A and B are shown apart, each in its own frame.
Chain A
Amino acid sequence: MPDLNKILYVEDEPDIQAIARIALENVGGFNLEVCNSGQDAIAVAPEYLPDLILLDVMMPGMDGPTTLKELRKIDLLKNTPVMFMTAKVQPQEIQQFKSLGAIEVIAKPFDPMKLADTIKKAWANQ
């Protein structure tokens, strides 16, 4: 398993983007690229070639699962690990996201001090 360095983060809520950016850059020390929508992510990802894609689930225009499907169509991103971030954390919902191929489902609200650790742990366990 290569080291985790580059994360592509897709989130439509600017406030949450701001929190997560500090949590991942300042606290976690990752190299981060943030996209406002699924469409943006599809445009940016093949250039950025992240180690991990962190996807919000509920987004206008294109939601997280649809974005994942589209990303998987791009050869370079076929096997890039994906984690979902969602406030939909009922057990059957988590199961549904995992069945889409996510290696982890991170619940909102998340603790910005622990977010990086959670991601690192899931990365190591995949």
Chain B
Amino acid sequence: MENPTQSLQQKLLTAIERAQSHYIDDGDSKTLFNGMLSDVLDFTESEYGFIGEIHYKDGNIPYLKTHAITNIAWNDETREFYAANAPSGLEFYNLDSLFGEVIKTGKAVISNDPSNDLRGAGTPEGHPPLKAFLGAPIYRGSQFVGMLGIANRAVGYDDQLLEQLQPLLRTCGSLIAGYRDAYNRQEAENILQKQGEFLRSVLSTINEAILTFDQRGYINSNNPAAEEMFGLSQDKLKTCTLFDLILDLPINFTTHHHDADNQILTKMVEYTGKHSSGHTFPLELAITPLKLDGHQMYTGVGRDISERQQSNRIKNEFISTISHELRTPLTTIEGALKLLADKKVSHLSPDQVTEMLDAAQSSSERLQKLINDILEIQQLEFGDFMFEPELIQVHDFLNQVVRRTLDLALQKGIRLKVDNDDTELYFRIDLKLLLRVMDNLLNNALHYAEPDSEVTLNTEKNGAYARITVTNKGNTIPEEVCDSIFDVFFQVDSGDTRQPGKAGLGLSIAKSIIERHHGQIYVKSTQEEGTRFFFDLPLFIQERLTNENLQIPPALSKVTDTTVRH
């Protein structure tokens, strides 16, 4: 007959070996602990049990989370609970129990009469009868990591069995700790990876080029913006130094970025960056020191400031132009006043006196108009104006425009030809603003028209839009100028097409007004066809007009869409 102790030892060793090789083969913890529990139940001839890990909540209150547990569910509720939670581990918090005693003390509990054991608190109703219980703490070295609980050995439990289980418990301790370490490491890796991904995605969306490099400028890493900024792939960048990318980088660039008290390197310095295509650009660079693996490294954040410089240039030129436009009439007014005031200029003839007065008067009007234009463009640009569209027949609108313009055309000796037959078209416009546009276009056309030529004004239906066109023969606007003619800064870049007596704001005001009406304005200019300014404005849908005579229904005529924009 085999020696029961020896047989138990043998089984124990087999169980340990099986568990260890499973662990070594990178097996999952669930299979391992389930197998181990089943082995233990087998050779201790226990009815049910669990292997659990000690966790702590609220700082230091221990609880148990099972790695393996016999299914002892006894009703639907417990069955459901088991099915839902056993795979990921059941958690037990009741410290006033036989297993709780183990968790609290870290010491083994043997109870062969659980129902009368003061350390326990009985079992819930329906729980399979608990006839004997062994709770054994599991240590890894001196660290209390878990417990084994087994129940209902026919002959009860004793210290001898507990002693025999020790090698298995120690193995179990190592495995629990091993899986926990692996889990923690995995968690940490996950967190790091997520942080890394986050950082990478942040860095990839940043428009600034970010580079790390060493003291000699050798590039170590970069973000996608850096690749784009310098036109080099990541691999190419890694073979570069900062000196290849920045033309005027001083040799002592790291100290160049120190501030006065020699402390911080983050001072922004302007350099000239070089793109792989050969073109250069203004680059603003900040350098920050960084210790990486004990090496002194640097992070550089670079920004292409071409656009900022360009917009500064445009602003400066705009101010310069405006100041020129203000100075010109001022020159006249001041000059005329000084000449008239000086008694010594006795040679001034009565005609010259009149001339001076007229010049001062017209300049003062011009100054007034210029200031109004500047204010108007500012209001239109910032939307700070009353917009009051009303329903108007395009035909009527054009007639009004013609009435306003006839005098000027006669004065200039230019014929005004109007093609305005379509009485079906309606649009919703702010009459005052749109008359402003027409005045500007027609004044320009009359101004530039060849002597004795004609200026034409016509309307047509262009899909869902009404198109109004003003054409004159005379000047031709170069194609490259057409692109920027509506630009508020237009005049700046094209000094030689400047209109005498105008600051060139009229067309940009016109554009703002047309766009405010959800329309678009264009210019086409050729030697043969002359210069055509035209714009499209959305037509009012005619079906909405009820009356056959196309009269405006009372409801509509009263509605004035008044929008105050801030």
Produce 1/0 per residue, A33-71, CB < 8 A to B: 000000000000000000000000011111100100000
A112 pairs with B324, CB closer than 8 A: no
Among A18, A27, A60, max chain B CB count under 10 A is at A18
A16 pairs with B328, CB closer than 8 A: yes
Chain B hits for A112, CB < 8 A: 335, 338-339
Which of A12, A15, A23 contacts B339, CB < 8 Å? A23
A13 pairs with B328, CB closer than 8 A: yes
| CB of B500 closer than 8 Å to a CB of A | yes
A71 to B352, CA, bound (A): 31
Chain A hits for B345, CB < 8 A: 22, 26-27, 113
A45 to B503, CA, bound (A): 30
A20 to B336, CA, bound (A): 10
B331 pairs with A16, CB closer than 8 A: yes
The residue on B at minimum CB distance from A29 is: B347
Chain A nearest CB from B176 CB (Å) reads 79
| CB of B363 closer than 8 Å to a CB of A | yes
Among A15, A18, A61, A63, max chain B CB count under 10 A is at A15
| CB of A109 closer than 8 Å to a CB of B | yes
Chain B hits for A15, CB < 8 A: 329, 332, 359, 362-363
Given contacts A15-B363, A22-B348, A90-B320, contact A62 B496 (CB under 8 A): yes
B496 pairs with A63, CB closer than 8 A: yes
A122 to B192, CA, bound (A): 75
Chain B hits for A12, CB < 8 A: 500
B339 pairs with A113, CB closer than 8 A: yes
A22 pairs with B499, CB closer than 8 A: no
A residues 82-126 in Cβ contact with B at 8 Å? 86-88, 90, 108-113
A68 to B331, CA, bound (A): 23
B356 pairs with A26, CB closer than 8 A: no
Residues of A within 8 A of B (CB): 12-16, 18-20, 22-23, 26-27, 58-63, 66, 86-88, 90, 108-113
Given A61-B496, A87-B327, A110-B331, 12 more A-B residue pairs with CB atoms under 8 Å apart are: A12-B500, A13-B500, A16-B331, A18-B355, A18-B359, A19-B331, A22-B339, A22-B348, A26-B348, A62-B496, A63-B496, A88-B320
**Can you list 9 contacts pairing A with B, beta carbon distance less than 8 Å?**
A15-B363, A19-B336, A26-B348, A26-B352, A60-B499, A62-B496, A87-B324, A108-B328, A113-B339
Closest 3 CB pairs of A and B: A19-B335, A109-B331, A87-B327
